[in-house]
A and B are shown apart, each in its own frame.
Chain A
Amino acid sequence: MIEMRDVGFAYPRGGALFQGITLDLPRGSFQFLTGPSGSGKTTFLRLCIADLLPSSGTLTVFGQNAAALGRDEIAALRRRIGLVQQDTQFLDHLPVAENIALPMIVAGEPVDMAAIRDLLAWVQMTQAAREMPPSLSGGERQRAALARAVILSPDVILADEPTGNLDWDMSLRLLQLLIELNKSGKTVLIATHDLNLIRAAKQQVPVRVLRIAGGRVQAGGTEL
Chain B
Amino acid sequence: MSAAPKKRPDWRALVRRAPRAPRARTGLDALDFRTLWRSLAGREAGLADRIVPPSGATAKLTVFAAGVMAFLAVFALALALATGRLADRWAEGLAQTVTIRVSAPASEIEAQTAAVQQALATTPGVAESRLLGGEEVEALLEPWFGPDVPVDALPVPRLVEVTTERGFDAEGLRLRLEAEAPGAVLDDHTRWRQPLVSAASRLRWLGWLSLALIGAAGAAMVTLAAQAALAANGPVIRVMRLIGARDLTIAQAFVRRLTRRTALGAAAGTVLGMLAVFALPDMQAAGGFLTGLGFTGWGWLWPLLIPPVGALVGFAATRAAALRMLREVR
Contacts of A51 in B (CB 8 A): 242, 330
Tell which of B26, B48, B330 has the most Cβ of chain A within 10 Å.
Answer: B330
Q: Which of A79, A89, A119 contacts B14 (CB 8 A)?
A: A119
Cβ of B241 < 8 Å from any Cβ of A? yes
Q: Which of B5, B23, B46, B243 contacts A78 (CB 8 A)?
A: B243
Indicate if the CB atoms of B53 and A93 lie closer than 8 Å: yes
Contacts of A205 in B (CB 8 A): none
Binds A, one of B76-84, B141-149, B231-239: B231-239
Question: Of residues 1 to 25 in B, which have CB atoms within 8 Å of A's CB atoms?
Answer: 1-5, 8-12, 14-20, 22-23
A49 and B47 contact, Cβ closer than 8 Å, known pairs A91-B53, A122-B9, A185-B16: no
Chain B: CB-nearest residue to A177 = B1
Indicate if the CB atoms of B48 and A105 lie closer than 8 Å: yes
Tell me the bound Cα distance from A102 to B87 in angstroms.
Answer: 59
Indicate if the CB atoms of A108 and B29 lie closer than 8 Å: yes
- CB A27 to nearest CB in B, in angstroms, measures 12
A93 and B54 contact, Cβ closer than 8 Å, known pairs A71-B246, A72-B246: yes
Contacts of A121 in B (CB 8 A): 5, 9, 11
Indicate if the CB atoms of B247 and A72 lie closer than 8 Å: yes
Binds B, one of A13-21, A30-38, A147-155, A206-214: A147-155
Question: Of residues 76 to 109 in B, which have CB atoms within 8 Å of A's CB atoms?
Answer: none
Indicate if the CB atoms of A75 and B236 lie closer than 8 Å: no
Q: 19 other contacts beyond A91-B239, A109-B23, A121-B11, with CB at 8 A cut-off?
A: A50-B330, A51-B330, A71-B247, A72-B247, A79-B244, A91-B236, A102-B240, A102-B243, A106-B240, A106-B246, A107-B20, A107-B244, A108-B26, A109-B20, A115-B14, A118-B14, A119-B14, A122-B8, A124-B3
Instruction: Return the 5 tightest CB-CB contacts between A and B, nearest first.
Output: A79-B244, A122-B11, A176-B1, A78-B244, A108-B26
Which residues of A are in contact with B by a Cβ distance under 8 Å?
49-52, 71-72, 74-80, 83, 89-94, 98, 101-103, 105-109, 111, 115, 117-119, 121-122, 124, 148, 150-155, 169, 172-173, 176-177, 181, 184-186
